[in-house]
Structure 1
Amino acid sequence: MTIYGYARVSTNEQDLTIQREALLKAGCELVREEKRSGTTVEGREELDTLMAFMRAGDTLMVTRIDRLARSIGDLQDIVRKLKAKGVALKATEQPIDTTSAAGKAFLDMLGVFAEFETNLRKERQMEGIAKAKAAGVYTGRKPSIDVAQVRAMHRQGHGATAIAKTLGIGRASVYRVLEGR
């Protein structure tokens, strides 16, 4: 029975030291770390690695449940996979222990709150963008395609592939410009 730790932060600028130290102090023999968004499990190679080599009787330890997943669907999928393997899930800062009914219930509640927090953050971000646009402050990202140059090259007889290669853009972008979208 091995206790494995999983530490995650969302950006490269964030530090994993506090999580790592807490997991090691809690008895983790190995801690896998990554700097990836928790809003999806896609591309989280360290989590995939843990999921692949944990065996029945092992424990996956996180500091908080939002380090594992920010969506209730992803969290439930992870918990189902762990359960199928006979692996327990525990958290150092929350009373989560999937070996007990109360721990499972608390896990689901925390998962809902993690997803709710993510949705609130997205709403605040969209409200801020709308306010900035109304004030004329936010204009969005600068166009990355020179529409006039695409059209000029097309008039000169260049095909979409040549235009895309010359300008360093995708062919689909060239077609969108030429179709007037």
Structure 2
Amino acid sequence: MMKIGYIQSTSKSEIEEQSELLISHGCSKIYVETSKELSFKLKRKLQEAIDSLSSGDILAVTRLSILCISVQSLLEVLFELNDKDVTLEVVQQKFISKDTHTLDELLLYLIEFIDDIKIEKQVYGISKAKANGVRLGRPPKLTKQQVLKAIELKHNQTSQNVASRFGVGRSTLLRHIAKQKKAS
């Protein structure tokens, strides 16, 4: 019987964290997927890991969401593992596919799985947007030019007067000025 681990992450620290956890749970070999492919069919390292397993072996992951992003693809993985007589162990959720669980436990695992998938998709979307140069979050109230002009005006006027001129609060103005001074 062999226990193999599977990790999916683009973050080096998360890969190390998952590796330590899987090694501490007895994994002799770990497959690492560094791409954030959402489709089960495109996860080459996962397929390699499954192909290397034989009857009686164990595939270990830290969370169900590491395997796939939908209940349908999770079922595909479970059926493929079942056909090979391979046990799935989900370390953080203390779930082993060969164990019999009550309906309540299975529903809890599915709810947790769905929540994890939502988070994975959100993180994937944010990282993709950042890679494409999209600015995230609320836009700044003042442009760089306005902040520089405000710094000039502040020498002769009160902060409140300068803030009113730009249509922002005094604390917003001071925060932008402090940020600009720190940047230069």
* Alignment TM-score > 0.5, same fold: yes
Residue from 107, 110, 124 that aligns with 1:108: 110
Matched residue, 1:5: 5
Q: Distance in 1 between matches of 2:83 and 2:109?
A: 17
Which position in structure 2 is the counterpart of 1:97? Answer: 96
Q: Distance in 1 between matches of 2:45 and 2:81?
A: 15
Q: 2:166 corresponds to which residue? A: none
> Secondary structure of 2:68's partner?
coil
- Deviation, 1:74, is 1.5
1:61-80 residue pairs with structure 2 within 5 A? 61-80=60-79
Distance 1:94 1:123, change over 3 A: same
Matches within 5 A, 1:132-171: none
CA distance in 1, matches of 2:52, 2:34: 20
Contact 2:7 2:32 in 1 (8 A): yes
CA RMSD of aligned residues (A): 3.3
Residue of structure 1 equivalent to 2:39: 40
- After superposition, the Cα gap between the structure-2 partners of 1:70 and 1:39, relative to the gap in structure 1 and judged at 3 Å, is same
Q: 1:124 to 1:16 in 2, by over 3 A?
A: closer
What is the TM-score normalised by the length of structure 2? 0.58
Aligned residue identity for 2:61 = V
Q: Is the 8 A contact 1:97 1:104 kept in 2?
A: no
Query: Identity over aligned residues, as a percent?
Result: 19
CA distance, structure 1, for counterparts of residue 8 and residue 50 of structure 2: 15
One-letter amino acid of the structure 1 residue matched with residue 55 of structure 2 = A
Q: Distance in 2 between matches of 1:50 and 1:72?
A: 20
Deviation at 1:117, TM superposition (A): 3.5
TM-score (norm 1): 0.59
Post-superposition shift, 1:91?
Answer: 1.6
